[in-house]
Amino acid sequence: MSETALQGYLALSALIFTLGGVGIMVRRSPLIMLMCVELMWSGAALALITFARHVGNMDGHIFAFFVMIVAAAEVAIGLALIVVLFRRREEVDADDIQQLRG
């Protein structure tokens, strides 16, 4: 794998990660923020798989697989929390959830 291709993949992974970060900071619907977290996971997984190919070692694939497992668990818990939030009030805005604020 050439140096430029490696840098291209890694720059793309950084871009996707940052795009997810923008979404988390800019949007206020918890559902969409959760989707942006998924985007960030994917950017990180792309970097893992790029390096696995570059180094010629499959450990990166295993790591990306575990990332997917943890992401699935996180989505399940996150969506459950969102469902509970929506049950408590009609309109959910991330700025309204401040009972734990000091």
Partner 1 sequence: MNAALLIAGAIAVAGGLGVVIGRTPVHNVVSLIVSFIGLAVLYLTLDAEFIAIVQIIVYAGAIMVLFLFVIALLTTRRDPVQNRKPEPSGQTFFGIVTAAAVLMFLVGGVLGLEAPGGEGIDETFGQVAAFGRELLTTHVFPFEIAAFVLLVAVVGVVILVGRKQA
**Least Cβ distance, residue 99 to partner 1 (angstroms):** 15
Considering only residues 65 to 94 of the shown chain, the ones binding partner 1 according to CB under 8 A are 65-66, 68-77, 79-84, 86-87, 90-91, 93
Give the x/- contact pattern for partner 1 in 5-24, rule: CB under 8 A: xxxxxxxx-xxxxxxxxxx-
Collapsing DSSP to helix, strand or coil, 91 comes out as coil
DSSP letter for 96, please. G
Query: With binding defined as CB under 8 A, does residue 27 bind partner 1?
Result: yes
Q: Residues 31 to 60: which contact partner 1 by CB under 8 A?
A: 31-32, 34-36, 38-39, 42, 45-46, 49-59
CA 48 to CA 59: how far, in whole Å?
9
Structure tokens at 25: 């900071």
Number of residues that bind partner 1 (CB under 8 A): 73
Asked if 17 and 40 count as a contact pair (C-beta separation under 8 A), the reply is yes
Q: How far is the CB of 30 from partner 1 (least distance, A)?
A: 10
CA distance 3 to 8: 9
> Reduced to 3 states, what is the DSSP secondary structure of residue 27?
coil
Two tokens, residue 22? 């923008």
Least distance from C-beta 23 to partner 1, angstroms?
A: 4
CB of 102: closest distance to partner 1 in angstroms?
Answer: 19
